[in-house]
Structure 1
Amino acid sequence: MAGSDLDMPDMLRGLHRIVSDLMYAENFYIALYDGDSDSLRFLYFSDVVDDELLDADEIVPLAKIERGLTWYLIRDKRPLMGSTDEMRQQVSGPLTLHGADSSDWLGVPMLRDGVVHGAVVVQSYRGGRCYTTAEMSLLAFVAEHILTALERKRGRAELEQRVVERTAQLETANIDLRREVTERERGERLQAALYRIAALASIDETSESFFRHVHSIVGELIEAKNFYVGLLSEDGASVSFPYAADEHEKDWSTRTYGRGLTEFVLRTGRPQLVDQARAQLLLEQGEIAASMVGAPTLVWLGAPLLGVEGAIGVVAVQSYERGDVYDERDAELLTFVSYQIASSLQRRRAAELLQQANAELEHRVEERTLELREQIAVREQVEAQLQHQVMHDALTRLPNRVYLRDRVERAIARLRRDHMQGFGLLYIDIDRFKVVNDSLGHGAGDDVLKEVARRLATCVREPDVVARLAGDEFVLLLEHVAMPETACKVAQRVLKVLEPPLQAAGRELRVSASIGITIADRNYDSADRVLHDADVALYRAKRSGRNRFVLFDDAMHQTAMGVLDMEQELRNALVRDEFVPWFQPLVRLGDEGVIGYEALLRWNHPERGVLTPGAFLKVAEDSGLIEGIDWRMFRLALEASRELVHDGSFITLNVSPRLFQHDDFDRRILALTHEVGFDPARLRLEVTEGTLLGDPDAVVATLQRLRDAKIEAALDDFGTGYSSLGHVHHFPLKMIKIDRSFITPFAAGVAPRSSAVIEAILALGNALGAEVVAEGIETRYQCEVLKAMGCVYGQGYLFAHPEPAEYWLAKQGR
């Protein structure tokens, strides 16, 4: 997601959906911590009770929520979980609540090298316990990846911002360059004029012709209809006018140095732009005399002709028609012209300087052009790098899901145009990869993934694609493959290439893979469907024993659809309360008197009738609905058996292993007995050997707390699990039930092996003081053999089939 084109709010909402798939996370927030300012920013906040709106850009000082749960996550750097009272015992000081109080709260800090960068929190207001240590570990793992995703997203945003800023700088530089080019063009025009004037100095012609040519050149640069040149005599006493072209003034004879505008420029040595207002001001200041002003002019512009000792003359233009015809730029331009007219040496020097300036300008243009090209190349390189990161996996350097989907979509489009352009897809999952991560660490797991990626790349040819989707899942896209046999050969090649051992974390490891194959035809309309079908075949390969490949067919499609339909029907059954308890008695073999009943789950299906768990239990477990079904079954069984058990009899409930993963299971079952009004002393919980060995210490503690509350435990299907006779004594058990697989052989006569096992179990039960019940007794011969061996209790169709509670109450006369 961090590598996608999603903006930050969409990515955070996607993270929320991902966490919600893993645990209850309706109320969820992500906070980033800034250690420099000791403050938080709540990047994402979703809560059904607390309606306070937190802006993602709002800076919240940590002192504002001092002693709160989030405050302790940041300060203590440790996860917190449980109710408010439980967390008061977990924090390092007094606890102050900020916001709504939840019934169950789970928060983990986002850590990087021991430094807190934020916190991820989920909470529940529904009452009861929602979160366990397993989910705490899962949320901590998720928090680490959320931090990584945020850092990558933020890094990408910063990189994009730098690209934007650099682009803006380039645009500014381009504007400056265009301005420089414009100035250069203007300078070139001026240079041309100056060159022409400089060239005039070397031409052997009269002064009249020289000044006439100068007039013509100046006229190309500014308005010069009225133009004249005045020269100061060597003694400075008079001013002569060797050239004049004026539509009003006719007398241009030499005059005595006085207080005219020409003399004003000679005195100041600077160009002067004089309009009527300024002329009046100069008259009032005494700089010019009214007697020296000729025909009435609206604006006058003059520039000094500067020599080594100072001004030697004046070049001037004027207008009798418009007062705005000249400006400061024209004054500057006329000044440049005056330099050329004043001295041929200065003109030649000016030409040299202008040539040098032109060379420097050319060099600057070349440098700026080269810099622009380099900057554009860098930007293209950055864009290419970003594109590669978006389309490839950072660990293995293989194409990722985004790249693969694009290639599959293109392959589908090709297939639509030409049905001969078929393709195959191999969905590969590394067998038992989680064991590598859990035992050797994620570093070793990464080494394994990189080596697997390298080996997979040797199994294909151009233009086939090897991609990594996520975790230990890889995909091979085989272009131009229409025959299943070809794809199967590639799958065999993959299994073969993974056989040699590989090195990881200093150990020699062997890995295998399960492979699902689908061959695309014209019925496929999307990449998702192709991947889904390959995933279904992969699931079948894993269920068939791993280290193999399975080709997807229509039967698998129908099976997958059946599972989806069954899952939806199970959800509807929970809503419509279609699950009911049936009861099968446990008896004394001596007199076949009933000592208790086992509650068995049944589904009262509206169309298929009463279904046993074998018809739906696997789907319920895979979909996660089993826990809700179990607790509904417990309540119904306890309510139905309040009148069924009496005179020391009891009821047994089958408890799935996943319920023992919750720390509050014993409290919930005890609370349920109180709520229903059922005596806990008449309740026994049946557990399997797998449950006992999942987390032995935790199970022992839970069973002991249940025994203290008068609820006993029974070990169901003993002998079929992974435990041995020597493990049983560690657990507080009231009853051991011998699995029916040891009873069945007696139907055909005496079975020595079964007899030996049963005798050992009976001896163990007697030694532990536990009651031993034989399950699956269906014939009188089996019953007699068991009684002869000393078995006291039994259960099976010989005595009774499972029936609803009403059936047994009627038999008791109630």
Structure 2
Amino acid sequence: MTVQFGRSLALDAAAQQSLPAALMRARTPAEVVAAWFEHDPLLDTHCACVLWSTHWPRDIEAFPDACADAKCVADAIDAVNRVRAGENDDASPRVLYDDGEGAVAVLNTPHACLSPDPAVIARLGDLLDLRRARERVARLEQAEKLQRSLYAIADMAGSDLEMPDMLRGLHRIVADLMYAENFYIALYDRERDALRFLYFSDVVDNTMISPDQVLPLASIERGLTWYLTRDKRPLMGDTDELREQVSGALRLHGADSSDWLGVPMLRDGEVYGVVVVQSYTGERCYTTAEMSLLAFVAEHILTALERKRGRHELERHVVERTQQLQVANSELRREVAERERGERLQAALYRLAALASLDETSGNFYRHVHAVVGELIDAKNFYIALLSDDGATVSFPYAADEHEHDWAARSYGRGLTELVLRTQRPQLMPRSAVAKMVASGEVHPDVMGTPTCVWLGAPLLSTEGAIGVVAVQSYEREDAFTERDAELLTFVSYQIGSSLQRRRAAELLRKANAELEHRVEARTLELRDQIVVREQVEAQLQHQVMHDALTGLPNRVYLRDRVERALAGLRRDEACGFGLLYIDVDRFKVVNDSLGHSAGDAILQQVAKRLAACVREPDVVARIAGDEFVMLLEHVQKPETASKVAQRVLRALQPALHVAGREIRLSCSIGIAIAGNGCESVDRILHDADVALYRAKDNGRNRFVMFDDAMHETAMGVLDLEQALRDALVRDEFEPWFQPIVRLDDAGVVGYEALLRWRHPERGVLSPAAFLKVAEDSGLIGPIDWRMFRLALESGRALMGEERFLTLNVSPRLFSQNDFDQRLLELVDEIGFDPRALRLEVTEGTLLGDPENVVAMLERLRERGVEAALDDFGTGYSSLGHVHRYPLKMIKIDQSFVAPFASGIAPRSSAVIEAILALGHALGTEIVAEGVENDAQWNVLRLMGCPYGQGYHFARPAPLGHWLGQ
């Protein structure tokens, strides 16, 4: 026995000696804990469990996994909270390591006698610190990757890449930032209310969409892309989550994805397109951070697309103009060739040919033509008419007539000149032919001037048609002109038309040459200035990335860089403290909604100027979002200094602003945070200042509040409660309790009201007052309400008897959803609950929020048998005079009117209740008195004729098992 005992001691000693080597080989916290358990069998024997995380109390890991149940995790969280509060009693669970920032390790064992090896604690702490350091490096690498991506997008917008190549490049950039195997970009055409999918890549959906195809939004109505365009806000999640995010019913178009993320491309509050990524892997791919990242990248994608499209339009215009010049030059060459051929054909008429080629003024040209025509035919009365470019007027640049003297330009009408212009053929018109034309309406006598015996006109033709008329006329003989004269005048008209066209062509050629020389000179200057322009563009892009486009102030990126440098200086020298002022313009949304976004932008610009005047170098004023500004005050260690600056800001905003013809007075709320030795990150000090800002808003606005530790604890409490609510939904910790509604005559039960309760794993059963505000602020009230409806209807069926009913409390926001009644009725049908036994309790504020919509929805519910009850009547804004507008089955009198009856009859409350009872009798509405707590209240209400009551005197709310006797 002695030999065996000695051998056991030797084995234990060998195990202890090999533990440090195993710890040094471990590369993760899990390997450290596994080595510890392997070398210490007592840990398994005593059912020990080690829990650790670098983001405590989130992302908790454990060894062994089977021991880390919900209670074990909750006990570990409580132990860490006790240690941080200075209440460490070395009891189990025991905190092995805590760096105060989130790296925590806890040992949980039923036997407190186990003592951890210091080497295990040291190695576990080292690896947790190493993991946090790597996570910080990963975040920095992600930020650097984003910056490189934005530079890449800007470079592609200014490159010579074709649009398809640039879009593929954008896809690669987005894929480098997140999972984007399935990716598309669509631009929104507001005039046609349609989308054009510039880029579409999907491994499942094989739909072929051309970039030039215009897809009307009506064809994908109620789809995800449709909601992105209409609601102007991002969407993310699986199909069920997306149904809760959209503002109406959801219809799927195309393949259904397991995870979907889409953001609108916004500019000045208007949607210009959408960017979407999606996954079919069956796993959750996208996070809220990636949604913000994609929205930020989408802005730069929109800018790149607009720049690329503008460049393409310019290049297309240059190509078209060049082609037009080529066509014009070709036309000119053809016309010159034809004129040369015509001149060769007219060799017999030397004077006319020579006249056509003479370079004289228009007046001399027309006089020479008149002289030549006069040698060939009787041209004593002669004129030339020209048609304006727009075809609206007819002018007479040359005329010689013995009777007619008014040759002013006239509007295009029904004269003989216009007849030749319309027909583009020569016209020989004796007096008899003119009379026939007047009788048929082809010619109007008021346009003809002095009557003639015969009129002869020939068109001056060009490639575009008739541009004018050459005409001769006689006032003496009707046979003054013959068909031979018409042919000769027609030949002369060709010469005149050719000469006019040649003059115009020469002018066009001169202008074309001048324009070509100008373009060559401009291109030369462009090539010379290309390097300078590129440098200017790069500088401008750098400025745009770091500054706000509206106000010119630094943006969030610039601010974070400055705060990072300030933090670095604080770490080097504790005397280099600094402060942040988080500023929010009070009620800016009201001003923006009332006056419009343009006026809102003008207000923000003026506010920015006033804020910039409140600081000195090297302090910074930055606009980080909407109407939110941040001041960085460097070399500030005392809160009094930051308070003086905050007072200066409040005074600076007091004078009125003049915008859109109005005088606007603004105020602001300010949150102040001073960075001391405990400030570890930019996000932390920004969060502290933001918390102080909201405290200032809650305290009445137009003031500043300094951040303190109490605010931090409050904010953390709200976050913990919000996370607990999310966990409660997952773990199904909500349940309905029921309180009976009775007849006051005999206390018989006529119905039950379903009340929400939260069976908290640590705090027990909680009423809505403990968590309702956080649920509403976080948006969780919707899922909680629908879960409550389902549970209440499923449980309440067991309580329903003959003539009994069940009432559900409905929050006002549900009535703002157009499909609330449809969803509720579908739930009732699914569960099999009789809709005639269901009543919905609504508040007076719900009825007055959107009366028309509420009345319509209640009427639709009543058609299916679901009635409405007005809860807490008398505490809101309703009056006895307009309750009849709403389809109500029941009115519940608020307990504030019943409470005075605790010691007998109260005259004021009696008058109000008698009025309500009279109203209910007149409208055929049931009346229920709430808050009946004792016999005195019961007796008074019964004597007054109140039919129904509810309160603790009859029964308190209790779970279903209580009422079923279980």
Scaled by the length of structure 2, what TM-score is found? 0.51
Q: 3-state DSSP class of the match of 1:443?
A: helix
Higher Rg = 1
- Report the equivalent of 1:807: 962
Structure 2 unaligned regions, length at least 5: 1-145, 154-169, 233-250, 281-290, 313-524
CA apart distance, 1:381 = 3.1
Q: Return the offset for 1:739.
A: 2.4
**Partner of residue 52 from structure 1, selected from 205, 209, 219:** 205
Partner of 1:532: helix, strand, or coil? helix
Q: Choose which of 937, 948, 951 in structure 2 pairs with 1:796.
A: 951
2:601 corresponds to which residue? Answer: 446
The alignment partner of 2:799 has SS state of coil
Structure 1 CA distance for aligned equivalents of residues 688 and 264 of structure 2: 39
**Residue 572 in 1 paired to residue 723 in 2?**
no
User: What SS does the corresponding residue of 1:463 show, helix, strand or coil?
Assistant: coil
C-alpha displacement of 1:693: 2.5
CA contact (8 A) 1:424 1:487 kept: yes
Answer whether contact 2:844 2:877 (CA < 8 A) is retained. yes
The residue number in structure 2 matching 1:69 is: 220
Q: Write the letter of the residue equivalent to 2:634.
A: E
After TM superposition, the structure 1 = structure 2 runs for residues 378-457 of structure 1, keeping only pairs within 5 Å, are 378-457=533-612
Question: Do residues 689 (structure 1) and 844 (structure 2) align?
Answer: yes
- In the alignment, the residues of structure 1 paired with residue 182 and residue 923 of structure 2 have an alpha-carbon distance, to the nearest angstrom, of 48
Q: Alpha carbons of 1:566 and 1:159: their partners in 2 closer, same or farther (altered >3 Å)?
A: same
Q: Which amino acid in the other structure matches residue 710 of structure 1?
A: G
- Cα distance change on mapping 1:612 and 1:27 into 2, 3 Å: farther
Q: Equivalent residue of 1:583, what SS?
A: strand
Structure 1 residues 376, 45: closer, same or farther in 2, change over 3 A? closer
Provide the secondary structure at the position in 1 that maps to 2:798: coil
Deviations 1:258-297 (A, max 9, x none): xxxxxxxxxxxxxxxxxxxxxxxxxxxxxxxxxxxxxxxx
User: Is 2:684 the counterpart of 1:501?
Assistant: no
Structure 1 residues 774 and 540, CA gap change in structure 2 (3 angstroms): farther
| Matching residue within 561, 582, 587 for 2:742 | 587
Task: Look up the match of 1:700.
Answer: 855
Using the TM superposition, give the Cα deviation of residue 789 of structure 1 relative to its aligned residue in structure 2, in angstroms: 4.2
What one-letter code is carried by the residue in structure 1 that aligns with 2:204? D
Alignment of 1:637-716 (within 5 A): 637-716=792-871
Q: CA deviation at 1:597?
A: 0.8
Instruction: Verify the 8 A CA contact 1:39 1:59 in the aligned structure 2.
Output: no
Q: In the aligned structure 1, how far is the partner of 2:758 from the partner of 2:625? A: 38
State whether structure 2 residue 648 is matched by structure 1 residue 488. no
Q: Which residue of 2 aligns with 1:729?
A: 884
Match of residue 761 from structure 1: 916
Contact 2:263 2:294 in 1 (8 A): yes
1:771 to 926, 933, 937: 926
Letter in 2 for 1:717: D
**CA shift in 2, pair 1:153/1:743, >3 Å:** farther
Relative CO higher for 1 or 2, CA cutoff 8 Å, sep ≥ 6? 1
Cα distance between partner residues in 2 of 1:122 and 1:783: 63
How far residue 602 of structure 1 moved from its aligned partner, in angstroms, is 0.8
Q: Match for 2:303: what amino acid?
A: R
Indicate whether 1:720 and 2:871 are aligned.
no
Instruction: Tell me, yes or no, if the aligned pair for 1:32 and 1:119 is still in contact at 8 Å.
Output: yes
Contact 2:175 2:181 in 1 (8 A): no
Matches of 2:222 and 2:964 in 1, distance apart?
A: 59
Equivalent-residue separation in structure 2 for 1:584 and 1:684 (angstroms):
14
| 1:481 maps to amino acid | V
- Following the alignment from structure 1 to structure 2, what is the Cα–Cα distance between the partners of residues 124 and 739? 52
Q: 1:448 to 1:769 in 2, by over 3 A?
A: farther
- Against the structure 1 CA distance between its residues 27 and 631, is the aligned structure 2 distance closer, same or farther, given a 3 Å change threshold? farther
TM-aligned CA distance change 1:148 to 1:607, over 3 Å: closer
Matching residue of 2:755: 600
Root-mean-square deviation (CA), in Å?
Answer: 4.8
Which residue of the partner structure matches residue 330 of structure 1?
Answer: none
Corresponding residue of 2:674 = 519
Counterpart Cα distance in 2 of 1:71 and 1:793? 46
Aligned 8 A contact 1:596 1:650 in 2 = yes
| 1:79/1:107 contact within 8 Å kept | no
- Work out the number of aligned pairs and report it: 560
C-alpha spacing 1:107/1:788, structure 2 compared with 1 (3 Å): farther
Q: How does 1:169-318 map to 2 (within 5 A)?
A: none
Distance in 2, matches of 1:427 and 1:80, equals: 29
Deviation sequence 1:329-365 (CA, Å, 0-9, x none) = xxxxxxxxxxxxxxxxxxxxxxxxxxxxxxxxxxxxx
**Which of residues 525, 547, 551 is equivalent to 2:706?**
551
- CA deviations 1:649-674 (Å, max 9, x no partner) are 11111111222222211111111111
1:421 aligned partner, one-letter code: C
Contact kept, 8 Å, 2:195 with 2:217, in 1: the verdict is no
Secondary structure of the structure 2 residue equivalent to 1:702: helix
Distance 1:633 1:121 in 2: 34
Question: How far apart, CA to CA, are the structure 1 residues paired with 2:895 and 2:587?
Answer: 32
Q: Secondary structure, in 3 states, of the residue corresponding to 1:737?
A: strand
Q: By how many angstroms is 1:535 displaced?
A: 1.3
SS of the residue 2:840 aligns to: strand
The range that moved more, 681-690 or 449-458, is 449-458
Does the aligned pair in 2 maintain the 1:65–1:71 contact within 8 Å?
no
For residues 496 and 723 of structure 1, the distance between their equivalents in structure 2, rounded to whole angstroms, comes to 42
Change (3 A) 1:681 1:517: same
Could you say what secondary structure the match of 1:488 adopts? helix
In the TM superposition, residue 636 of structure 1 has moved relative to its aligned partner by 1.0
Question: 2:593 & 2:212 partners in 1: Cα distance?
Answer: 39
- Measured in 1, the distance between the counterparts of 2:678 and 2:644 equals 24
Q: Does 1:478 align with 2:629?
A: no
2:780 match = 625
Displacement, 1:98? 7.2
Deviates more, 1:494-503 or 1:728-737: 494-503
1:769 deviates by 2.6
Take 1:520 and 1:41, find their aligned partners in 2: how far apart are those partners? 49
Contact 2:229 2:271 in 1 (8 A): no
Q: Percent of aligned pairs with the same residue? A: 66
Q: Which runs of 5+ in 1 are unaligned?
A: 18-24, 82-95, 126-138, 162-369
Match among 529, 546, 550 for residue 684 of structure 2: 529
**1:740–1:33: structure 2 CA closer, same or farther, 3 Å change rule?**
closer
Indicate conservation of the 8 Å contact 1:65/1:98, yes or no: no
Paired residue type of 1:585: P
Letter in 2 for 1:673: V
CA contact (8 A) 1:580 1:636 kept: yes
Compared with structure 1, are the counterparts of its residues 593 and 741 closer, same or farther at alpha carbon in structure 2 (3 Å cutoff)? same
Q: How far apart are the structure 1 equivalents of 2:176 and 2:949?
A: 55
Query: What letter corresponds to residue 459 of structure 1 in structure 2?
Result: C
SS of match in other structure, 1:394: coil
